[in-house]
Amino acid sequence: MVQRQLPNPVELLELMKFKKPELDGRKRRLEGALTIDDLRLIAKRRTPKAAFDYTDGAAEGELSLTRARQAFQDVEFHPGILRPAPTVDTSVEILGGPSALPFGIAPTGFTRLMQTEGEVAGAGAAAAAGIPFTLSTLGTTSIEGVKAANPHGRNWFQLYVMRDREISYELTRRAAVAGFDTLQFTVDTPVAGARLRDKRNGFSIPPQLTLGTIINAIPRPWWWFDFLTTPKLEFASLSTTGGTVGELLDAAMDPTISYDDLAVIRDIWPGKIVIKGVQNIEDSVRLRDAGVDGIVLSNHGGRQLDRAPIPFHLLPEVRKAVGDDFTVMIDTGIMNGADIVAAVALGADFTLIGRAYLYGLMAGGRQGVDRTIAILRSEIERTMRLLGVSSLAELEPGHVTQLTRLVPVNRAAAEAHAR
């Protein structure tokens, strides 16, 4: 028989430690977010539907985004054993400069509509973490404003070539004067993709009030208070606004952009230039031979051509085709630090996060972006330790198997195309 006794209050106090309550609501909810998916759920609760769906959604049936995320989930890691990695080095050299982590913040448009701190929060968080921040042509903070928020860190600029070429040329010159070191020349947006969530929500710039938006806003007064009591939205390239996002893009973008435009921009831009939106092996090789500094394998987060190639699936063959000395970056679908580790193992020099950053921004402003970076950093470090590697340079294709659910019907034809 087990001997029983009355509980000793002193012993109970030793066993039970009550957690001090956190009175700061923002800090409390962000500390409770353990994954990017957790931040996404907080963001969804706190942001009006139209603004959240603009961030969360993709084109048409959203197959490109779903497949990109699934591709990262369909990864099998192969850890080494008895290879101690008590500390890990997550730093990289990318495009002539350092980054403390193998990812940077991707360009996102209309960012202050997601949360009023917008690009200033992203640039400040990037500066604190020692990673690059990318400002979009359609950003809602000026080039000079981002420089002020990240005066000593690495700022990159994403460029659309617009119908009025002089607008694009002037933006390029301003970014150079402000000390931005890398230009992302974006090529996958000759016209806007069909972003059906935006159309169904009636999402426009500036936001148009309807009975539905008012009802949706009632439980989110903090968003509207921030929106209405902070400076008017300003765009890096648009002097006038009005209409849906798709209409704005179609009015600004030019479907006739070509290698001739790339040549003009290269003459203007003094820093590194990478081509964003590359989606096949042939273009990757051609751009390498054209002398650009690198490429970003991307289908624009699934927001342009639905059923587009999956960047993560393209990565190994592109790396093989362009060789080891050419910079290859990747975005689209990254929701976990393990996704980033897998991409580096299969040949990516660097990765970019878009939605993951915006989920943190919507969940808690600058602190939310800091939380996004902290979550990804922790996942990267833990995955590396479990794989038995101490630095990113030790990652190799043997650490990863890409499992696939999408197999071409005519495999021979697909393999011939890849060659």
Residue 131 CB burial class (10 angstroms; 0-12, 13-18, ≥19): buried
10 Å Cβ neighbour count for 212? 12
Is 300 in the active site?
A: yes
Distance CA(382)–CA(165), nearest Å, equals 46
Tokens of 404: 């696939």
Q: Is the dihedral of CA 98, 121, 147, 205 positive or negative?
A: positive
> CA torsion, points 383, 386, 390, 395, in degrees to nearest 10?
-70
Distance CA(335)–CA(219), nearest Å, equals 28
| Inter-residue contact 338 to 75 (CB < 8 Å) | yes
Distance CA(279)–CA(390), nearest Å, equals 32
| Inter-residue contact 155 to 123 (CB < 8 Å) | yes
Listed residue (327, 126, 169) closest to 262, CA to CA: 169
Q: How far is CA 111 from the centre of its chain?
A: 12
231 Cβ contact partners less than 8 Å away, ≥ 6 residues apart: none
| Inter-residue contact 403 to 74 (CB < 8 Å) | yes
Residue tagged active-site, from 78, 152, 300, 399: 300
Distance CA(394)–CA(417), nearest Å, equals 31
DSSP calls for 284-333: HHHHHHHT-SEEEE--GGGTSSTTPPPHHHHHHHHHHHH-TTSEEEE-SS
Helix, strand, coil shares, percent, the chain, to 5: 50, 15, 40
Q: How far is CA 321 from the centre of its chain?
A: 25
| Inter-residue contact 119 to 146 (CB < 8 Å) | yes
Classify 178 as helix, strand or coil: coil
Classify 236 as helix, strand or coil: coil
In sequence order, what are the beta bridge partners of 135? Answer: 157
Longest alpha-carbon distance in the chain: 89
Catalytic site residues?
300
